Amino acid sequence: MADKMKDVVVIGGGVVGTSILRKLSYYDLDIALVEKQPDVCEGSSKANSGIVHTGFDAPPNTVEAEALKRSRELWPQLVEDLKIPFIPCGAVMIATSEEEKEIIEKKYIPNAEANGVEVSWISREEILEMNPAVTDKVIGGLLIEGESICDPFTATRSHAELAALNGAEIYLGAGVVNIEKCSEGLKLILEDGKEIMTRYAVNAAGLYSDQIARLIGDESFTITPRKGQFLLTEERVEISQVILPVPTPKSKGTLVSPVAFGGFLLGPTAEDQEDKTDFSTTEEGLEKVLAGCEKLVPGSREYESIRQFAGLRAVCSTGDYVIRPSEADKRLVHAAGIRSTGLSASPGIAELVAEQLQSVGLELIEKEDALYETPNLFDDSEEDQTGEIVCLCRSITRGEIENALKSPLPPTTIDGIKRRTGATLGDCQGNCCIPKILEIMEEHGVSSDRPLKGLQKSYLTVGRGNN
């Protein structure tokens, strides 16, 4: 770990932390990111609906609405610059009764207008033409043309990779366990006892951002987890847009959506819980998903699911994003309480955080040689065109896996390979290709007696045999 004083260290490598790191990497600063897990995108950022929301339903005049508004402007260029898989498919909120139509007219249309988001009421025929699988009980719906879907894994990683190319340091497996306030800066103490001195730190620790705040005596907000369970299917569902129900006060409801990297997603639930480590799926939760989706897209119940998973939203006691310097020590700037829109709002949050850092004294001078666009790092290798297919379900080649292992932020886990290449995402979920992938990782110097699936201690094997 470098001894030199950093200008800024971002704590947390989710989509929010990496987006902030990318933004700061455009300036003449010595910056780093510390992430507890062995890879970026291992928190809420890996288990969400993958929708780039417009903010049509965000509470107006909130920090969240402001971050989403800025993000609407920033996404189109970012998608180009960072090569993020992105489908501008639009979304439609389905009304199946006059009561639901009235909620849309009285609540969602005025809310969208207050936030400057274009929406329009469309007919039952228009909905069914674009989405034949939608229930024939539909009487019309709200078209939110600006809603899109993206690959959240690439979104998160591509921020980190561009920042790394711009000179940012990224420390993985580096959880912050303590922060000491010193006259010259903040001393971050990591799990393994290493220390990093920094003039400023950004708290982007997601579900754990309240615990990071507590390390400097800040008790101004609390984060509680709200679980969302999902089912993923590879069946052909005849929808071309994100199909939304009319939301409840607690959640946007279970939706049916195309997935940017293939297949269709059903979910999520909204279940408040205490435990920040409980990502389990349950029969009851998945039944709720199926029952909700069946109302929107009849037949959902019959889809064969290739995967079930859950993510946890960071629900904040303040009811809004917390993007400001800590009152306990202004050198720690919070990017916390980023609930269910953080993927969409991450570019705007990065701008807001940069402004907050400026407001407490950080000078932002643009670098002359900063990269704003991820360069093409690899030519299509020989193997990509002619060679060995490693993942049969998704036709992923050896060359694609090798390129991932040579990238600016190389993976050290199977999930890291999955999120960079798509290998193991298909029907067999890695049953056929994991041994081959481990072999290739070993050839590239990523070897371990106990390879990890993804998270800390998620060992794939119990150890290596003698032959």
Catalytically active residues are 53
For the chain, the straight-line distance linking the first and the last C-alpha, in angstroms and rounded, comes to 37
The one among 9, 17, 131, 415 contacting ligand FAD by CB under 6 A:
17
425 binds ligand FAD (CB under 6 A): no
Do the beta carbons of residue 308 and residue 16 sit within 8 Å? no
Window 334-363: residues binding ligand FAD (CB under 6 A) = 338-344
- Chain residues 218-237 in contact with ligand FAD, contact rule CB under 6 A: 228
| Shortest distance in whole angstroms from residue 43 CB to ligand FAD | 2
Closest distance to ligand FAD from the beta carbon of 177 (Å): 7
Give the DSSP letter of residue 250.
S
Q: Which two tokens stand for residue 258?
A: 């195309």
The Cα–Cα gap between 422 and 437 comes to 12
Q: Is 203 left (phi over 0), alpha (psi -120 to 50) or beta?
A: beta
Q: From the list 7, 42, 57, 66, which residue makes contact with ligand FAD (rule: CB under 6 A)?
A: 42
Count Cβ atoms below 10 Å from residue 369 Cβ, excluding itself. Answer: 6
Query: What are the helix (H) ranges across 44-137?
Result: 63-82, 98-103, 109-114, 124-130
Binder among 48, 54, 148, 421 for ligand FAD (CB under 6 A):
48
Comparing CB distances to ligand FAD, the nearer of 133 and 289 is 289
Lookup: tokens for 230: 């999902």
Indicate whether 311 belongs to the interface with ligand FAD (CB under 6 A).
yes
Beta bridge partners of 325: 333
> Taking the complex as a whole, how short is the minimal distance between the CB of residue 314 and ligand FAD, in angstroms?
6
| 3-class DSSP string for 182-234 | CCCCEEEEECCCCEEEEEEEEECCHHHHHHHHHCCCCCCCCEEEEEEEEEEEC
Count residues contacting ligand FAD (CB under 6 A)? 41
CB neighbours of residue 154 within 10 Å = 20
> Distance (Å, rounded) from C-alpha 228 to C-alpha 12?
21
Query: Which burial class, exposed, middle or buried, applies to 125 when counting CB atoms under 10 A from its CB (0-12, 13-18, 19+)?
Result: exposed
258 vs 311 by CB, closer to ligand FAD: 311
Which positions from 251 to 290 touch ligand FAD by CB under 6 A, shown as an x/- string?
-----------------x----------------------
CA distance 63 to 395: 43
The distance of closest approach from Cβ of residue 449 to ligand FAD in the complex, given in angstroms and rounded to an integer, is 24
By C-beta, is 208 or 303 nearer to ligand FAD? Answer: 208
Our CB check for ligand FAD shows the closer of 290 and 434 to be 290
| 88: nearest Cα among 46, 9, 147 | 147
| Sign of torsion over alpha carbons 447, 310, 16, 322 | negative
Shortest distance, position 182 Cβ to ligand FAD, whole Å: 19
The stretch among 7-15, 289-297, 298-306, 381-389 that binds ligand FAD (CB under 6 A) is: 7-15
Nearest distance from residue 432's CB to ligand FAD, in Å?
A: 29
* Residue selected from 10, 14, 89, 155 as contacting ligand FAD according to rule CB under 6 A: 14
Residue among 245 and 311 whose Cβ is closer to ligand FAD:
311
- Closest CB to ligand FAD among 96 and 344? 344
Kindly tell me which of 189 and 428 has the beta carbon lying closer to ligand FAD: 189
Residue of the chain from 10, 34, 354, 405 that contacts ligand FAD (CB under 6 A): 34
Q: Which stretch binds ligand FAD (CB under 6 A): 38-46, 129-137, 415-423, 444-452?
A: 38-46
Bridging pattern class, strands 140-144 and 169-172: unpaired
**Binding flag, residue 313, ligand FAD (CB under 6 A):** yes
**Contact window for ligand FAD (CB under 6 A) among 2-10, 46-54, 426-434, 438-446:** 46-54
Site string for ligand FAD, 57-96 (x = CB under 6 A): ----------------------------------------
CA 183 to chain centre: 35
- At position 372, the amino acid (one-letter code) is Y
Q: Is 180 helix (H, G, I), strand (E, B) or coil?
A: strand
What's at 290, amino acid-wise? L
Identify whether the C-beta of residue 266 lies closer than 8 Å to the C-beta of residue 290: yes
**C-beta of 297 vs 316, nearer to ligand FAD:** 316
Instruction: Enumerate residues 160-219 that contact ligand FAD by CB under 6 A.
Output: 175-176, 204-208, 212
Segment contacting ligand FAD by CB under 6 A, of 15-23, 289-297, 301-309, 386-394: 15-23
CA distance 190 to 435: 33
The rounded distance, in Å, linking the Cα atoms of 363 and 137 is: 57
Which residues form the interface with ligand FAD (CB under 6 A)? 11-17, 34-37, 42-45, 47-51, 53, 175-176, 204-208, 212, 228, 268, 311-313, 338-344
